[in-house]
Every structure is written in C-alpha cells, then in structure tokens.
C-alpha cells in the first residue's frame, strides 16, 4: 500500500487514479496504484527501471491503447471524468493530456509544420494568421523562438537533440493541454540541454499539471514539487519532494535514494 | 579424374598433417583440413587450367600432324572439299559418325585416329605430370608452422572475385552486342527518324539496302508502352498496393499480417504467361463487352486497357511490399508522437507515416514501372501488334517489347533493318529502365540513410 506523507497538503487533483492495474498479456506491470495529480505542480515519478513508471504514465493519456496486449483496470479521472469510460473521446483526451517522449521525435516536417500539427488536426484556429500566432507563442513558451525564428521552414529533424526536445514540448503546448506528461525527457540529452529543459519545466509548471518520469534523483529534486517512488509496479511512497528525499518513511525508498540499488 | 587426383592430394595431405600433429604433439599453425585443402587446390586448379588449354589447342595439333602424314597428299585441292573431307574423317575417327561415303575422307581416317589417340595420351601424361608436380610441391610444404589456412583463404577470395567478374563481364558483353547491333541499325535508319517518327510499320520483305525511314518511327511504341506500363498499370497498382500496405502495417492483426504479406509476395512469383492468359482470355473480352454495352462500338478486343489492368495486378505485390517495408521502417516514435497529439490512426497515416515513407514508396513505384515497361509476356498475349498513336485506352496498342518479339520472329533476314530495329528498341528500353532503376535506388538509399 502506498505510504502518503502526513504533511502532504490536500489539493483538488487534476487527475486522479483509483486502484489502477495495467497488464501486458498475463503479466501485471502496475499493481493497484492510486494517486492524485495536482494542477499547476510538477509531479515526479522515480524508481528503478522496469518498475512501471512509463506504463503508468501512458495509462494517463491512454497511450497504452496503441499496444495490443496492454489492458488497464481501475479508474483514472480527468477533472472528475473517467477517461476510460465510453463517453470519453481519446482524441480529445490526448489533446488535453499531452505527452513528451524519452527520445525527441519531431516529425520529418518543417519546424513550423511540427508545431502546427496539433492545431491543424484539432482545428483550433480560425485563420492562417492565428496559426502563425500559435506557432510563435508555443515556440516562445518552449524557449525556442529566438533560436529558430529565422528558419521555421527548415526540417525539425535538422535541429540539435536538445532543440528537438524543446520542439516536441512546443508541439505539445500548441494544442493548449491541461496536463503534460514527460517520460524521461532528458535521458537522451547532454547536461546543458538538460538544464534548459529543466528551466523550461519550471516555467511551465505554473500553467500546466506536469508529470515527469526521471531516473535521475537530482533532477526530480530540482524540478518537482511532489515525488512518487515506484517499485515493482507499485507506488511505495508519495509526498512532497523535499520530504521524500530528506525524510523517507519506507526502507525501500531510503535504499533507492541513497543509491543502494537501481 | 582431376577431381579424384585432387581428392587423393587432399586426403594424403590431411593425414600427413594429422601425423605431424601427432608427432610434434603440439598444435599446427593451421588445422589439418586446411592443409588438405591447400594441396587439393594446388592439384585441382593448375590441372583444370591445363585441361582447358589442352582441349583448346589439341585439335589444332592433331590436324597439323594429320596434314603432315603421307595420306594428306591425296586430299582434293579445292579448299571447301578438302575441309569437308577432313571433317568427315575426323568425325569417323572420334566416333561421332559411324562411317563416311566421301572417297576423299576414307584414307584420312586412319591417320586421324592415330593422331587423336597419340595426343590423348600426351594429354593424359601431361595432366598427370602437372598434377603430380603441383601436388608434390605443395605436399612438401605441409609443415607444422605452415600457414595453409591463410593461403586457402586467399584462393577462396580469388574464386569469389572471379565469379563476380563473370557476372559483370557478361553484363557488359550483352550490352556491347546490343550496342553493336543498334549501331548497325542506325546506319540504315537515322536515329532522328527512329526516335521522333510517329509511324511504325517496318516491312521485313522490303529491300534491306534501302529501307523506308518513315516506317521506323518508334513514338507510337513508346507511347503504347508508357500508356500501358506506366499509366494504366500504375493507376491500378498504386492505390491498391498502397492501401493494402497501409492496412497490413497499421490495422491488420499481427497474425493476419504474418501470412498475408508472404501470400501477397507469392503473387510476384506467378509466371507472367499466366497473367497473359488472364488478360487475353478474361479481361480483354470483358472490357470489350462492357464498352459495347455502354455504347462504345469500336472497342478493340486487344485494348491497351486490358493489358494495362492485368499488368497493374501483376505489379501490385511490388508496390505493396515496397510501401509496406518503407511504412514499417518509419520509427514507432513518429507514430506514437502523432497519436499522442490526439491524431487518429488514419490522420497519423496520412500526415506522418506516408509522408515519411514517401521516398521509399516512390522508389518502389519506380522500380515497379521499370518492371512494367520491360514486361513482355502479358502484352505479347493481350496487346496487339498494331502501332497506334491514340489516347483512347480502348484502342489496340502495341509496346516496345511486343515489337521486339515481332521483329525478331518476323520473316526478315537477320541483317534486315526490320530485324535490327529490335535491337535499337531493346537498347532504348534498356536505357530507360536503367535510368529508372538508378533513380529509384538512389531515392530509396537516401531515404534509408535518413533514419540511420
Ligand atoms: N509493450 C510492452 N509489452 C510487454 N511488456 C511491457 C511492454 N512495455 C513494458 N513492459 C513491461 O512492463 C514493465 C514496466 O515497464 P516500464 O513501464 O517501461 O518501466 P519503466 O518505465 O519504469 O522503466 C517491465 O517489466 C516491462 O518489461
Ligand atoms: Mg520507462
């Protein structure tokens, strides 16, 4: 059972997971996980690799639907609405809950078209001028505008790794999501690019609910307000980041943050 | 026999190497087997080379000695009669003919058989000497520290190089003969008339020294080829091939894909004659009847449409398997990225997967076109031989390949410009398909690099 830190202030959760289990075929990857994800905070998922962080993250915007063998049980709510109910439109859900992947994956299109991709498929602009504005705004918020404003027609794949990842963040922002899920967004980047992304996360946190999976405890400590420690498909401990790192309750958490395994 | 010798060398050298290994109690630089191969190859290669050379020169030597014999003085003085007599005598002597009625040949039989057996013995003895010498020399080198392994490796490499050279040179040889015949044709009919003339009706019975260049205009053929192979066939093949590739990569259950994809690829192995039957016997009459029933009276029963449609069906597997490969090669991350943006599967396919796979798909389509325009059997069976420059796909039309067949199997003599025109057609077709393949492969290659 998840240990919740006593001095974790109760906030209305943006997303709320209730006894969620995820299976790949017969294999259970997530075991009865419950957690509330607050708005306007950064929540970090840490834990040894293979413990189910990505799986749980993907359950939050139903990306597991794209894996034929995956099956989700339990309930996940977005603003009180069950995202796995029949009335929930996956397309709408993913527009509201955006995702940034481990490896930057810009489309083989121009920088402009990468950002315009979401707004175009969701039709969230009236005329061409609006789209230009959305592209500019998203790039500005992702801190990429100054670097690319003169070459919006260059392919997105021609950017450096760190720029590509910020492009992917800008692409996710462009549809104005409420939640942004990031799965180890810096694991393919060098320290300078990582620092830029972390800065960006701090800036974005006032606006969106951000969930970040990271294998770096320093990163979790630097960027997140709350931390959940995953182990073997369960959340062992959940609380304010400072509490988790300075004052862990469970032995397993202590072992992990002192680097005894994982 | 040579093989037997080589085998003996192989066995003896191997056993010697084994013995050496046992004697020295230690390790050899190469495995005994390699020593065996080393000696075996040393026997085999020089001997085989010698046998080839000997077979090439010994008839000359035999003839020489026969002509030197006293019986040769009785040969007729006339060149052709003398050659005939010699040839018949030789045939009897070698047993290729049982007897001869040529009186001039009869006295020559005995000297011929003498010379033949004499030179055969010389040949056998020389072969044995060479094999023995090579074997002995290499056998003596079987020592513990001798690196037979690297040497055998070098021989293997040489054999492989030789094999690839054979492929390259035969291609060049074929090309050279094609060019040669093409030039002979262009000496009779100017390339301008050939490439830009719009009337094709070579007359194989006309005077070969003075061909009518206006009958050698190849434009209608190229037009027919393009219309059937590149337009109608592709209108059929591209959409069907693309859609089946998209279904198989994106929607189909993995288990269905596992057998459907190979099944589709088997279609590519159906002999094109079978498609030809299908075109000539089923599709062509159907199209004619259909055209009649909607009131088009002059529809031909050998329409370009029928040949093109069946050709398109034949090409489907090429297009779909290339498209399948290129779509499947687009990284999963692209697809995930698009789906995570809230795109549906079909939007993802249309906006991300197909554009990303486009170079590969285009390459596949170009390869398919080059195959279609070089295709012979279907059009020979289903298209006509009448060269029409018409935009109506219901008209009968002919293609380059059909005319190549028609000209080569026609009544004209081999030197006739009508026959030679087949080579010129073949040469132009070769250049076109070569160009298409070249462009297609470089497109595919560049695309592969983009994801590595
Ligand atoms: N597509 C999949 N099919 C089957 N098993 C999977 C799949 N993805 C992940 N798993 C398994 O689920 C478990 C959790 O994986 P994951 O969520 O990727 O862990 P983490 O992100 O914490 O490293 C692992 O044991 C992994 O092998
Ligand atoms: Mg992971």
**pLDDT at residue A261, rounded to an integer:** 61
- Give the model's confidence band at B447: pLDDT under 50 very low, under 70 low, under 90 confident, else very high: low
* Residue A262: pLDDT over 60: no
**What pLDDT is attached to residue B2?**
66
How many Å lie between the centroid of ligand 2 and the Cα of residue B450? 26
Inside any domain, residue A116: no
A143 vs A149, A163, A173, A201, B178, CA distance in Å? 11, 9, 12, 11, 64
- β-bridge partners, B424: none
In this model, does residue A24 exceed pLDDT 90? yes
Average pLDDT of the segment spanning B4-10? 74
pLDDT, tens digit (0-9, with 9 covering 90-100), for A133-159: 999 999 998 989 999 999 999 999 999
Closest Cα in chain B, distance from residue A121 (Å): 7
CB contact under 8 A, A121 and B333: no
Q: How much is the average pLDDT of B22-40? A: 73
C-alpha of residue A232 to centroid of ligand 1, in Å: 11
Residue among B435, B308, B274, B436 at smallest CA distance from B368: B436
Q: What percent of chain B has pLDDT over 90?
A: 13
Check residues A30 and B125 and name the one with the higher pLDDT: A30
> Which of B254, B335, B342 has its CB closest to that of A91?
B342
Give, as residue ranges, everything with CB less than 5 Å from ion ligand 2.
A 54
Q: Which residues contact B129 (CB under 8 A, 6 or more apart)?
A: none
Residue of B nearest to A108 (CA): B356
pLDDT at B114: 84
- How much is the pLDDT for A216? 87
Q: What is the pLDDT of residues A180-203, one digit of tens each?
A: 999 999 998 899 989 989 999 999
Residue A150 lies in a domain: no
Residue A228 banded pLDDT, cuts 50, 70, 90: very high
Q: Are A78 and A160 spatial neighbours (Cβ–Cβ below 8 Å)? A: no
Q: Is residue A174 part of a domain?
A: no
In chain B, what residues touch A170 (CB-CB under 8 Å)? Answer: none
* A68 SS3 class: coil
pLDDT tens-digit readout, B343-372: 999 999 999 999 888 888 888 888 888 888
Residue B244, CB half-sphere, CA atoms under 13 Å: how many?
22
B340 vs A98, A108, A109: nearest CB: A98
In this structure, of A24-33, B93-102, B301-310, the range with the lowest mean pLDDT score is B93-102
Closest listed residue to residue B224, CA positions, set B389, B17, B28: B389
Shortest distance between the Cα of A98 and any Cα of chain B, in A, equals: 6
pLDDT score of B27 more than 70: no
A130 in any annotated domain? no
What would the mean pLDDT of B292-313 be, rounded to a whole number?
A: 82
Residue A82 lies in a domain: yes
Q: Is A158 contained in some domain?
A: no
Which 79-108 residues of chain A touch chain B by CB within 8 A? 90-95, 98-99, 101, 103, 105-108
Sign of CA dihedral B244, B249, B250, B255: positive
Given this model, what pLDDT does residue B450 score?
A: 60
Query: Confidence band (pLDDT; 50, 70, 90) for B295?
Result: confident
Helix and strand totals (H; E) in chain B: 18, 0
Interface test with B, best of A57, A61, A105, A179 (most B CBs within 10 A): A105
Closest to B201 in 3D by CA, of B408, B414, B407, B379: B407
Give the pLDDT of residue B11: 76
In a domain, A232, yes or no: yes
Instruction: Write down the pTM of the prediction.
Output: 0.73
pLDDT at residue number B451: 57
Q: How far is the CA of B415 from the centre of ligand 1 (A)?
A: 74
Predicted confidence at residue B25, as pLDDT, reads 63
Domain limits for position A15: 3-109+180-257
pLDDT of residue B448: 64
pLDDT, position A14 = 93
For residue B324, count other CB atoms closer than 10 A to its CB.
27
pLDDT surpassing 90 at residue B51: no
**Could you read off the pLDDT of B233-264 as tens digits, one per residue?**
999 999 999 999 999 988 888 889 889 888 88
Full DSSP string of A159-208: S-HHHHHHHHHHHHHTT--SEEEEESTTTTS-HHHHHHHHHHHHHHTTTS
Distance A71 CA to ligand 1 centre (A): 13
Nearest CA to ligand 1 atom 20: A50
Q: Which atom of ligand 1 is nearest to the CA of A47?
A: 22
pLDDT bracket for residue B1 (50, 70, 90): low
A108 min Cα distance to partner chain B (Å): 6
Cross-chain residue pair A94–B342, CB shorter than 8 Å = yes
Spell out which residues line ligand 1, taking CB within 6 angstroms: A 24, 29, 49-55, 67, 69
Q: What is the CATH number of the domain that holds A39?
A: 3.40.50.300
Beta-carbon contacts below 8 Å between A and B? 66
Q: What is the mean pLDDT of residues A215-244?
A: 93
Query: What is the per-residue pLDDT for A89?
Result: 92
Residue B225 predicted with pLDDT over 80: yes
pLDDT in tens, A43-62: 999 999 999 999 999 999 99
- pLDDT of A1 over the 80 cut: no
The domain tally of chain A equals 1
Pairing state between β A3-4 and A226-231? unpaired
Report chain B's mean pLDDT, rounded to a whole number: 83
């Amino acid at each position: 059972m998840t240990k919740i830190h006593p001095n974790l202030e109760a906030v209305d959760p943006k997303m709320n997971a209730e006894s969620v289990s995820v299976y790949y075929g017969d294999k259970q990857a997530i075991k009865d996980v419950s957690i509330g994800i607050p708005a306007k905070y950064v929540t970090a998922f840490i834990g040894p690799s293979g413990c189910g962080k990505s799986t749980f993250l993907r359950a939050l915007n139903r990306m597991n639907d794209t894996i034929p063998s995956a099956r989700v049980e339990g309930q996940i709510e977005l603003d009180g609405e069950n995202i796995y109910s029949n009335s929930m439109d996956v397309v709408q859900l993913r527009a509201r809950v955006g995702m940034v992947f481990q490896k930057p994956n810009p489309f083989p299109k121009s920088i402009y078209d990468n950002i315009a991709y979401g707004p175009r498929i969701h039709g969230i602009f009236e005329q061409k001028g609006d789209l230009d504005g959305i592209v500019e705004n998203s790039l500005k918020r992702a801190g990429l505008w100054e670097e690319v404003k003169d070459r919006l027609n260059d392919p997105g794949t021609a950017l450096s790794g760190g720029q590509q990842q910020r492009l992917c963040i800008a692409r996710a922002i462009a549809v104005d999501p409420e939640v942004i899920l990031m799965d180890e967004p810096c694991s393919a980047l060098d320290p300078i690019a990582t620092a830029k992304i972390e800065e960006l996360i701090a800036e974005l946190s006032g606006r969106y609910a951000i969930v970040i999976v990271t294998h770096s405890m320093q990163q979790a400590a630097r960027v997140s307000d709350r931390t959940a420690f995953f182990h073997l498909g369960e959340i062992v401990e959940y609380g304010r980041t400072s509490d988790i790192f300075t004052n862990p309750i469970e032995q397993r958490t202590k072992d992990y943050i002192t680097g005894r395994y994982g | 026999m040579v093989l037997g010798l080589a085998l003996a060398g192989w066995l003896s050298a191997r056993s010697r190497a084994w013995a050496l290994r046992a004697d020295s109690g230690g390790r050899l630089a190469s495995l005994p087997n390699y020593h065996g191969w080393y000696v075996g190859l040393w026997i085999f290669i020089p001997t085989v080379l010698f046998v080839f050379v000997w077979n090439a020169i010994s008839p000359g030597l035999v003839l020489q000695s026969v002509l030197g014999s006293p019986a040769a003085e009785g040969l007729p003085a006339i060149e052709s009669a003398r050659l005939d007599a010699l040839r018949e005598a030789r045939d009897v002597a070698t047993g290729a003919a049982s007897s001869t009625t040529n009186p001039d040949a009869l006295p020559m039989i005995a000297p011929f058989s003498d010379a033949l057996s004499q030179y055969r013995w010389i040949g056998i003895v020389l072969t044995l000497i060479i094999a023995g010498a090579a074997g002995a020399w290499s056998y003596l080198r079987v020592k513990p520290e001798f690196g037979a392994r690297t040497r055998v490796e070098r021989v293997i490499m040489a054999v492989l190089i030789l094999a690839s050279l054979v492929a390259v040179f035969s291609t060049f040889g074929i090309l050279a003969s094609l060019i040669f015949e093409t030039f002979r044709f262009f000496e009779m009919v100017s390339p301008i008339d050939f490439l830009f003339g719009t009337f094709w009706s070579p007359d194989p019975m006309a005077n070969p020294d003075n061909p009518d260049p206006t009958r050698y205009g190849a434009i209608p053929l190229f037009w027919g080829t393009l219309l059937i192979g590149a337009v109608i066939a592709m209108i059929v093949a591209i959409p069907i091939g693309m859609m089946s590739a998209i279904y198989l990569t994106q929607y189909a259950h993995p288990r269905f894909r596992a057998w459907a994809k190979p099944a589709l690829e088997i279609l590519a192995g159906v002999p094109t004659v079978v498609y030809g039957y299908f075109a000539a016997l089923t599709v062509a009459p159907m199209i004619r009847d259909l055209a009649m029933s909607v009131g088009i009276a002059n529809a031909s029963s050998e329409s370009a449409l029928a040949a093109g449609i069946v050709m398109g069906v034949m090409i489907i597997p090429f297009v779909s398997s290339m498209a399948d490969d290129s779509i499947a090669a687009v990284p999963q991350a692209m697809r995930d990225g698009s789906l995570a943006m809230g795109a549906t599967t079909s939007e993802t396919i249309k906006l991300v997967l197909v554009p990303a796979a486009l170079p590969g798909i285009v390459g596949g389509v170009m390869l398919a076109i080059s195959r279609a325009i070089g295709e012979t059997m279907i059009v020979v069976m289903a298209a006509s031989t009448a060269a029409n420059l018409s935009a109506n796909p219901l008209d009968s039309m002919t293609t380059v390949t059909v005319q190549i067949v028609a000209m080569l199997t026609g009544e004209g003599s081999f030197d006739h410009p009508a026959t030679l025109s087949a080579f010129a057609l073949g040469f132009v077709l070769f250049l076109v398909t070569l160009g298409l393949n070249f462009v297609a492969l470089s497109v595919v290659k560049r695309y592969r690099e983009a994801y590595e």
